[in-house]
Structure 1
Amino acid sequence: MQTTTQAKTILITGATAGIGLAAAQSLLHQGARLVITGRDQERLNHVVTMLGGNVIPMLCDSANIEHIQQMASQLQQDNIKLDGLILNAGVFYPAPFEQMTVDNFNTTMAINFSGPVFTLQSLLPCLNNPSSVVFISTVAVQKAFSAAGVYSASKAAFEGFARVLNLELAVRNIRINSIRPGVTATEIQSKAGMDDATISDFFESLSSTPVGRVLTPSDIIPAINYLVSDASMGLRNAYIDIDGGFGL
């Protein structure tokens, strides 16, 4: 099945690390033109230099609606049209329900739910007909993890929204599909407050899963490539679970 993204222009949110960065590397290798976002200008510049190729950096905090709208306005001014949008930016701040704070709840929802929603809305004038939107969700929307209630809810909220958007945006030939990664080794663990020993023990515990190890971004990328390519033209509101058998 051909999944080439050559000559496509694709925007990836949160592309300075983890799955977003791996997706950028893969798509560039296939000849795509990229727009990538990040919250830190220095890191964004470093990643652009590292990637080389045809990359346009955009400083944008997914929790900041004004940033999102400014980014969209700049892309329109530059007459940049998008064939694909990968909504990857996200956070995971685990907290048991009894210890959950308003700040934890609001921050997680702002980045994982409101951010993708308003990014897509703001970029509608930039999206070609047809175009593909890929949401990086999580296996946690269907498998419960202790202390991950807000994280699960934030991702599930966008999945629910996407079901409606696939109807409303059909006239524009915009398709929205999701990928649900299982536990994947990225910076998200350390950003969640886990120390090296805890992360190591956690990853080691995954040796009992069918895949026998923790997943890496390279395990997720082929599915992203497929969904942004024309080969996925017939998919609407599909979910691709990539969890190494963790949910069995």
Structure 2
Amino acid sequence: MQTSLQGKTILITGATAGIGFAAAQSLLLQGAKLVITGRNQTRLNHAVKALGEQVIPVLCDSANVEQIQQMVIELQRDNIQLDGLILNAGVFYPAPFEQMSLENFTSTMAVNFNGPALTLQALLPCLKNPSSVVFVSSVAVLKAFASAGVYSASKAAFEGLARVLNSELAPRGIRINSIRPGVTATEIQAKAGMDDAAISGFFESLSSTPVGRVLVPDDLIPAINYLISDASIGLRNAYIDIDGGFGL
């Protein structure tokens, strides 16, 4: 099987920045047609401007069931069928378990578990046979990080669902595999409440890992390209850990 993505139609959730945006750039260079989602119209417009007008933008918050359903209606109206789906949208709101609020718990699960699960369910009529689904999980499902309990649980929850779905959706030709990024420099650190000094110190601490630095989105893209392409046709419920040796 070849890794060529020429002519493939792929939807990426949360593609306005970070890993999702980097994946979009790479897939476009390989000739793929893209549908990208974002939950902020201004940021979505900026992403389309940077990526090119051939990208189809859809305003869709992964925590908003109505927007997910509307997205599917629009895709079906335009007769768009998908060869691949990259479930990338996610949030990280760190808090010690003892101080965990119900709002923190529900908002994290809404985006990181409910979001990809309901997005995949809604998009089933739009997925071709065969098609590939790639879930952007986290090394946090394997390694414990203080204050990241609910984040870890949300990612692990979808991995557990994916195991079952690989069996249930096999007759449709749908396969689901995951990447597990280590600490990656994106906007997620600032959105988690870290200031510039804290982020800089955190990244500097990663110089002791085998890779010798914090990861960047481009470090993850080759694995995403492989899993979304026909080259991964034999994989089901596989996980590619990309942590720079952090877990050694």
TM range, smaller chain: over 0.9
In structure 2, the residue matched to 1:47 is 47
In structure 1, the residue matched to 2:236 is 236
Q: How does 1:129-208 map to 2 (within 5 A)?
A: 129-208=129-208
Query: What's the CA shift string for 1:103-160, capped at 9, x where partnerless?
Result: 0000000000000000000000000000000000000001000000000000000000
Ranges of 4+ aligned residues in structure 1 off by more than 3 Å:
none
Which deviates more from structure 2 when the two are superposed, residues 127-136 or residues 43-52? 43-52
Query: What's the CA shift string for 1:31-64, capped at 9, x where partnerless?
Result: 1000000001111011101101521000000000
Does the aligned pair in 2 maintain the 1:28–1:54 contact within 8 Å?
Answer: no
Q: In structure 1, how many angstroms separate the alpha carbons of the residues matched to 2:2 and 2:19?
A: 22
In structure 2, the residue matched to 1:81 is 81
Q: In structure 1, how many angstroms separate the alpha carbons of the residues matched to 2:238 and 2:177?
A: 5
Does the aligned pair in 2 maintain the 1:10–1:32 contact within 8 Å?
Answer: yes
Residue type of the alignment partner of 2:75: L
Q: In structure 2, how many angstroms separate the alpha carbons of the residues matched to 1:5 and 1:191?
A: 32
In structure 2, the residue matched to 1:16 is 16
In structure 2, the residue matched to 1:214 is 214
Cα distance change of structure 1 residues 53 and 222 upon mapping to structure 2, 3 Å threshold: farther
SS of structure 1 residue aligned to 2:89: coil
TM-score by length of 1: 0.99
Q: In structure 1, how many angstroms separate the alpha carbons of the residues matched to 2:235 and 2:13?
A: 22
TM-score by length of 2: 0.99
**Matched positions, count:** 248
